[in-house]
Chain A
Amino acid sequence: LAKTTQPISMDSYEGQEVNITCSHNNIATNDYITWYQQFPSQGPRFIIQGYKTKVTNEVASLFIPADRKSSTLSLPRVSLSDTAVYYCLVVLNQAGTALIFGKGTTLSVSS
């Protein structure tokens, strides 16, 4: 599985857009890029997944350039409740695959 690298921490203020970049230089053809969010003492929660270009849902957007060696999670207009750890994962295109979590990015949102 491709290893991912993302910033250890980021700080932001309420109402700002936050972009968290993840690099995955060794991503394989059958891999998808997936992001999970985790609040303290809770299980991780799926945010978004993509293969290439751009994916958007009600929570976030995911930008993936053509070479797929990196990706950017974009959180529009963050609030205090977005303070959490965000994990970027490269997931094999195969159902029932285990998730291998990297260190994640701790996002702190202040008022």
Chain B
Amino acid sequence: DTEVTQTPKHLVMGMTNKKSLKCEQHMGHRAMYWYKQKAKKPPELMFVYSYEKLSINESVPSRFSPECPNSSLLNLHLHALQPEDSALYLCASSQGPSGGATDTQYFGPGTRLTVL
């Protein structure tokens, strides 16, 4: 099973709402990632978790709060977002530190977020 699942598929929220994006993998991967992708642009890295610990935060605003409750789950908590945060949010996982040179990342289908 090489699947990364993300819920919800679509999310519409107001600027005062609090919502969460969820990502799950059951491949035994120890690294998990959040990327943000605006229309017709390449994905941009937001966060990297390695062994359930945050290892990279690409200067993401605090209105995005990641959480890795266990090795299979990755959440992205959203609060007080702006309309410009509307984008496709992609989760990915890889073997991580034990993966060696060819640590392929497997992406989920993404959550399409619209902030009104």
Chain A residues with a Cβ under 8 A of chain B: 32, 41-46, 49, 87, 93-104
Residues of B within 8 A of A93 (CB): 101
> CB-nearest residue of chain B relative to A100?
B45
Give residues in B with beta carbon < 8 Å to A.
Answer: 4, 30-31, 33, 35, 42-45, 48, 50, 55-56, 58, 88, 90-92, 94-110, 112
Chain B residues lying within 8 Å of A45, measured Cβ to Cβ, are 107
Of A44, A49, A96, the residue contacting B94 (CB under 8 A) is: A96
Q: How many residue pairs between the two chains, A and B, have CB atoms under 8 Å in the bound complex?
A: 70
Interface of A is mostly: loop
Contact yes or no, A96 B96, CB < 8 A: yes
CA distance A102 to B45 in the complex (A): 12
> How far does the alpha carbon of A38 sit from the alpha carbon of B78 in the complex, in Å?
26
> Contact between B42 and A49 (Cβ–Cβ < 8 Å)?
no
- Given the known A-B contacts A95-B96, A95-B101, A96-B99, are A101 and B42 also in contact in the complex, defined by CB atoms under 8 Å? yes
* 30 residue pairs bridging A and B, Cβ less than 8 Å apart: A32-B101, A42-B107, A42-B109, A43-B4, A43-B90, A43-B91, A43-B92, A43-B107, A43-B109, A43-B110, A44-B105, A46-B106, A94-B101, A95-B31, A95-B96, A95-B97, A95-B99, A96-B30, A96-B48, A96-B55, A96-B96, A96-B99, A96-B103, A98-B48, A99-B43, A99-B92, A99-B105, A100-B45, A102-B42, A103-B42
